[in-house]
Amino acid sequence: MNTRRRHVLSGYSWLMLVFLYLPIAILVLYSFNDSRINAVWSGFTWKWYISLFDNRQVMQALANSLTIGVISSILATVLGTAASLAIKHYSLKWRNIVNGLIYLPIVIPEIMMGLALLVLFSQIHMELGKTTLIMAHVTFSMPYVMVIISGRLADMGKELEEAAQDLGATPWETLRYVTLPLIMPGIVAGFLMSFTLSLDDFIISFFVAGPNSTTLPLYIYGLVKRGVSPEVNALSTLLIVSTVLLVIVAELFRRKDSKTITY
């Protein structure tokens, strides 16, 4: 019975994997299709990727995504690290409530977050563009950074910091030479995760983007509305590959982070 149950669970797991990844595999396959008609395979070609890099609009959307992603990720990482350190080292009367409020953007539906930010920017008369996109991306990605770094700080404990202070280190020296080096893999992983979220975001960006701040996901959406073409498949494939690579690197840093401390 146990063997049969194991086979059933294994088969179900494989079925779910096929259900999740078969559409992505088909999209990647047809990005190399020589025909513009996705339903017909007429040969292997790289021309859709070549035409992408010759497309000025695609390059502009890519530049916007990278600029917004890097700036928002740096800000989210700095703010998330500072907030995690403050929560760990200072006794807050309403710690659980503060944690809940900080992590709330993770569970709020993105469409609600995007609408709320749009209303906020409209009320303060801020013109939609790269600045509003950066602010929005910092808002939803900072909690993810805090989850990673807070977990790292919880595993680290207070022993090493207390030992450094007993040996004469000031609080700043303890932070600079003990705490930050120990949590640096977590900081890097948080940055990479934040950059991945920023690069992939569509719903929130759709609400707060201006006419001259189109990102790659928004550009892909515009292409899809005119009909799915191999260029859309090629661009989506590049976005998927970039995301997967960033997630893998972030996971490697997270695993390295979990093995760093020895007492």
Contact, 155 vs 182, CB < 8 A?
A: no
Exposure of 230 in the CB half-sphere (CA atoms within 13 A): 23
Count Cβ atoms within 10 A of the Cβ of residue 130 and give its class: 0-12 exposed, 13-18 middle, 19 or more buried: middle
pLDDT of residue 39: 67
Kindly give the confidence (pLDDT) of every residue in the chain, 263 residues in length, as a single tens digit, with 9 standing for 90 and above.
567 777 778 888 888 888 888 888 888 888 888 777 766 777 788 888 888 888 788 888 888 998 999 999 999 999 999 988 888 777 666 667 777 777 788 888 889 999 999 999 999 989 999 999 999 999 999 999 988 888 888 777 677 777 887 778 887 888 888 888 888 888 888 898 898 899 888 999 999 998 888 888 888 888 777 666 677 788 888 878 887 887 787 777 666 655 554 44
pLDDT of residue 132: 93
- Alpha-carbon gap, residue 173 to 162, rounded angstroms: 12
Is residue 195 classed as helix, strand or coil in its secondary structure? helix
pLDDT of residue 163: 82
- Alpha-carbon gap, residue 186 to 168, rounded angstroms: 27
pLDDT of residue 121: 92
pTM of the model: 0.79
pLDDT of residue 38: 67
- Alpha-carbon gap, residue 124 to 140, rounded angstroms: 20
pLDDT of residue 77: 94
Q: Quick one: which of 210, 196, 206 has its CA closest to 141? A: 196
